[in-house]
Amino acid sequence: MKVGISIDGVLRDLFNQIEETHKKYFPTEEGEEQVRVKDYDFEKWITFPKEEVKQGEMEFNPDFNEDNFLESEENTELTDIVKQTTVEEFLYEKCTVEIFGYADESVKSAVEVINQLILENTQHEFHIMSREGGLAIPSTLFFLSKTKSICSNINFVTEHSKVWDYVDVMITDHPKVANSVPKGKLVLLIDKEFNQNIKQSGTRVKSVKEIDNRVLDTFSEAIENGDYNSEWIL
């Protein structure tokens, strides 16, 4: 059996790290509420203040004509530009290592739990799955290194549904992963407030620490027997 583990929400406490990093670089004013990330719809929860930036130089103009410029009475004085950081810039350009690399584990010793399962269940193939790209990839590898992961299969996918190309069972908290489960495969869901209403509810556990050899054996048997109703597996 091929077992997939979503890194975020299962091994890495991404939400809390986003909140702490945002608080560090964008401290709130008196009376304002601190950013709180409640699910994976980051655009909904992460906001940024508008900032006035002093223009350092004039914008490049490909049609620039020196003669016209000298004759022009146009005001060429540099002005302040109002800019606002985007979620994409924050996560994948400005604070990528700090967010994806320096995050804590979702629960203490989460990676060690997976390491132990790998060592004790050599009949199964384990994959750590991530839907990150760009600079988040080396940052994620740093996270796995600092937490001493021994998993040799680390897959980065471009879409949540692509995880199913690699595994038979997914341990995840992400609704998009659970909702995309194809026939013949199973979900083991880490129970969170934001995934209560997903279509494929699956078997639920509170954290990765509840997953042991018995759980894996039960899922393996269900797949071998073609029993894909994971509601009652455990």
| Residue with the two structure tokens 């759980």 | 215
pLDDT at 232: 45
The pLDDT assigned to 157 comes to 95
Q: Quick one: pLDDT at residue 30?
A: 78
* Range 89-114 burial, b when 16+ CB lie within 10 A, else e: ebbbeebbebbbbebebbeeebbbbb
- State the pLDDT at residue 234: 45
Cα 93 from Cα 40, distance rounded (Å): 18
The pLDDT assigned to 198 comes to: 83
Q: What is the pLDDT of residue 66?
A: 61
Q: What amino acid is encoded at 130 in this protein?
A: S
- Report phi then psi at 178, rounded to 5: -65, -40
Q: What is the pLDDT of residue 79?
A: 64
Helix (H, G, I), strand (E, B) or coil at 115: helix
Instruction: Write out the chain's pLDDT in tens, 234 residues.
Output: 999 999 999 999 999 999 999 999 999 887 788 999 999 999 999 999 887 766 555 555 666 666 665 555 555 566 667 788 999 999 999 999 999 999 999 999 999 999 999 999 999 999 999 999 899 999 999 999 999 999 999 999 989 999 999 999 999 999 999 999 998 899 999 999 999 988 765 689 999 999 999 999 999 998 888 766 555 444
Are 170 and 4 spatial neighbours (Cβ–Cβ below 8 Å)? yes
Give pLDDT, residue 73. Answer: 52
Distance CA 68, CA 71 (A): 5
Encoded amino acid at 162, one letter: K
